[in-house]
Amino acid sequence: MTKTIQTDTLIIGAGSSGCVLANRLSAQPDHRVTLIEAGGKDSWHWIHIPVGYLYTMGNPKTDWCYSTTPQPGLNGRSLAYPRGRVLGGCSSINGMIYMRGQEADYDAWGSGWTWSDVLPYYKQSEHYHRGADAYHSDQGELLVQEQRLKWDILETFKRVCEDAGFNDRPDFNCGDNSGVGYFEVNQKKGIRWSSARAFLHPVMHRSNLTVMTHTLSEHLVFDGDRCIGIEGTCRGQPVSIRAQRVILAAGTIGTPALLERSGIGDEAVLAPLGIQVHTQLLGVGNNLQDHLQVRLQYRLKRGDTLNQQANSWFGRVKMALQYAYNQSGPLSMAPSQLGAFFKSSDEVDRPDLEFHIQPMSADQLGTKLHRFPGMTASVCQLRPTSRGSTHISGPRASDAPRIDPRYLSETHDQQVVCQAIEKTRALMDHPLLDQFSPSEHKPGRTQNTPDELIQAAGDVASTIFHPVGTAKMGPATDTMAVVSEKLEVHGVQHLYIADASVMPTITSGNTHAPTVMIAERLASWLSH
């Protein structure tokens, strides 16, 4: 027997944006809001201990556990593609870095989405540790704090960057993030501060808000050109939810998948799967963009790094006691601590490369750390020109999507990657680092020609988990646009999207903060 639920607003996905929307829209006491999440509650301790991302990524308890198709640009490798499947979504498993991007990023987003348009919505949700100013607020729910540890190797690398001409940048979130500094994070005194903790848990007592976990949307339901709800399952049992409006917040992979299963997309994709087209929108699942990081790993002869501590019984006990005492030390670490934004060449007008410097090294993120002292200088291209796609492989929600980012498929991206490796090596050769005697462990200094560098990048590069763009916003005249500038799906009434999939182009940095901002904007429009 199918359970039927009636509501005013149905939000699909309790991640970075869905929790914001649930909070803001349920603030109207007479407006019923139902929030559904395919995963479970965020009660597992590793979600809240910052270093727990090592255990939440790749774990079906908290992660969809997707993977990409084999990537020619990565020498045929397929990458794990973590996406949050739990209250808080990706904000419960991500690297916690708070990063808005650069002012110029928003110029390509269309009418009403310039930096001056979006800044008030960033401030609306933010509780900034240094207090309020022209760029920040201390009245919001999303805590932004400093990291709670320092490493000599990071301090030295920061001085290297400054000596090389990088500006000291104590705040990356004022519209210009060029320079070097420490990342600020979404934490509360060393505890992860996800969207669920910031926006959802404080309001779950509201009588007009219903939160349903373990609830999977199979497909949308329509009455003509109007979306009126979903059909799905809750804890394995059929459920039918009807609503006055529906908001998709299922993320860059989940949102286009639900659209396609519901007949919204490209007939060339849907027809072979036996799915009847409801609304032809060519852009669904296309325009996939992501930040690819080239992870140069270094062996150090001297210096304290996480490698030694994690591989020592005494070190592990010390870390546990440190965190238990005051939530500091390595267990409070974000995956990256020190950042730097810089240009690949003088031909670009603003930074197009970003360092994530880590006092540790491993063959892959999430695998066992090397036993030798090590550091990683990960550098990612901020504005890739390569475009990929994600499409369903079958008509059921259980059918895994085909995710094809097409990394390094464009010559421009290959050139930038080569420049990134060369610039990293130049900094690592700085005399200030001689005290640590670094040597390049991977990919190794034997690769030096452009072809060799591209091959080396393909061997060590990995996603930094920032997929966007698969339901991009734009005017109806744009044949690849999926939503309007007001985030309503073209050709379908009362159906909205508010997650990273609507970004026409990727921002220069981590994508959690922009996703929260997008949710704030839609909530504001729908509340008035």
Q: What is the pLDDT of residues 326-348, one digit of tens each?
A: 888 888 888 899 999 999 999 99
Residue 161: what pLDDT?
97
Residue type, 57: M
Packing angle of the helix pair 152-163, 411-428 (nearest 10 deg):
110
d(CA 185, CA 103): 20
The pLDDT score that the predictor gives to residue 366 is 67
| Cβ–Cβ < 8 Å for 284, 480 | no
Residues 450 and 309 in one domain: yes
pLDDT value of residue 310:
84
Report pTM: 0.97
Token pair of 498 as six digits: 């508010």
For 194, phi and psi rounded to 5 degrees?
-75, 175
Domain that holds residue 38: 1-143+185-289+385-403+468-528
Q: What is the pLDDT of residue 283?
A: 98
**Domain co-membership, 307 together with 424:** yes
Query: How do strand 292-299 and strand 439-442 relate by DSSP bridges?
Result: antiparallel
Number of domains in the chain: 2
What's the one-letter identity of residue 422? Answer: E
Query: Quick one: pLDDT at residue 477?
Result: 95
Can you name the residues that pair with 180 across neighbouring β-strands?
168, 340
Instruction: Give residue 381's identity as a one-letter amino acid code.
Output: Q
Same domain, 445 and 476: no
Q: Which of 466, 482, 505 is the last residue of a domain?
A: 466
Residues 285 and 297 occupy one common structural domain:
no
Query: Which contiguous run of DSSP H or E holds residue 339?
Result: strand 338-342
Distance of CA 478 to the CA centre of its chain: 26
Residues 61 and 32 in one domain: yes
Residue 419 φ then ψ, to 5°? -65, -35
Which residues have CB under 8 Å from 469's CB, separation 6+?
252, 287, 288, 289, 387, 500, 501, 503, 504, 505, 506
Integer-rounded Cα Rg, in Å, for the chain is: 22
Name the stretches of the chain with pLDDT < 70.
366
Tokens found for residue 69: 């198709």
Nearest CA-CA partner of 290 in 433, 386, 183, 212? 386
Q: How far apart are the first and last CA of the chain?
A: 38
The identity of residue 81, as a single letter, is: Y
Q: What is the CATH number of the domain that holds 176?
A: 3.30.410.40
| Residues facing 279 on adjacent strands | 264
The catalytic residue positions are 466
Residues 195, 158 share a domain:
no
Taking the CA atoms of 93, 214, 286 and 516 in sequence, report the sign of the dihedral they define: negative
CATH number at residue 516: 3.50.50.60
Domain end point (choices 423, 439, 466): 466
User: How many Cβ atoms from other residues are within 10 Å of residue 274's Cβ?
Assistant: 8
Structure tokens that stand for 519 in this block: 């949710």
Q: Does one domain contain both 462 and 347?
A: yes
